[in-house]
Amino acid sequence: MRIAFIGDIVGRPGREMVKKYLLKIKKEHGIDFVIANYENASHGFGLTAQNANELFSYGINCMTGGNHSWDKKEVIPLFKTHEILRPHNYPEEVNGTGCKVYEISGEKLAVLNLMGHYGMPYTDNAFKCAKTSVTSLQNDGIKNIFIDFHAEATSEKRGMMMLLQGHVSAIIGTHTHVSTDDFQIANGTAYLTDIGLSGCRDNVIGVDSKVPLRNFLTGLKEHFDIPKSCKKILQIAIMDFTDGICSQAFKLKYFDNEKVVRNEAWLEE
């Protein structure tokens, strides 16, 4: 199966890039299933029902979340009606789930959403949750397992790779909005510390730079805003899974000036 992942769709600019390019990408590259992170999709904070329906209409099959999953309270009933996840290591009492299994062309794919600890809200241990969840999935005969690890610390993301390489098909990081240059396949597991945002690319992590700069200069915090006009980017990882092993992976960057950049994941010998 060939799956694709889009991380951190930020506001209207990110949604516009998904609308413009996703169906074209799916057709050109023969993608079977698309996962995307929604936690910043509605003006940078959370997800509204309207934006959820909008993004699914563009060809997304499943959406993962993070620390902003709860910013729009209308998301709560969507956990029951839409293919929307939240980090699985939130306590069991929290609405929704962070793990779902899908059937694609006769094969099963598990999507697991986890959240790190540094700088994040209080949750159960992500690493223990990962081990328990992966073992349970494997006991159910599920080999193809994709993880969106939503974390601030690169060390946590790399640690998750060291814990699970050879046991899952892919681990891709989200949350920092800044793409990293370490896409690789090791022991059959595709890994990328952070895929980077889809949205505005000419500011500070997708938001208008005025507020972050005032914060850096004065220490005073204000509400972040998404620019109404900006230069935009769509970042998408494409991976081939067979019997739980990732055999090929590459990342595409689509710019709003029609430029496309492709980066191949290297095979760790």
How many angstroms separate the CA atoms of 258 and 54, rounded? 23
Pairing assessment for the beta strands 99-104 and 107-115 based on DSSP bridges: antiparallel
The one-character DSSP state at 126 is: H
Surface-to-core class of residue 80, CB atoms within 10 Å of its CB (0-12 exposed, 13-18 middle, 19+ buried): exposed
How many angstroms separate the CA atoms of 31 and 46, rounded? 26
Given 68, 150, 167, 175, the catalytic residue: 68
How many angstroms separate the CA atoms of 47 and 94, rounded? 17
Tokens 């794919």 locate to 109
Contact, 58 vs 86, CB < 8 A? no
Q: Is 68 a catalytic residue?
A: yes
> CA of 179: how far to CAs of 125, 193, 212, 233, 260, in Å?
25, 8, 19, 11, 15
Catalytic residues: 68
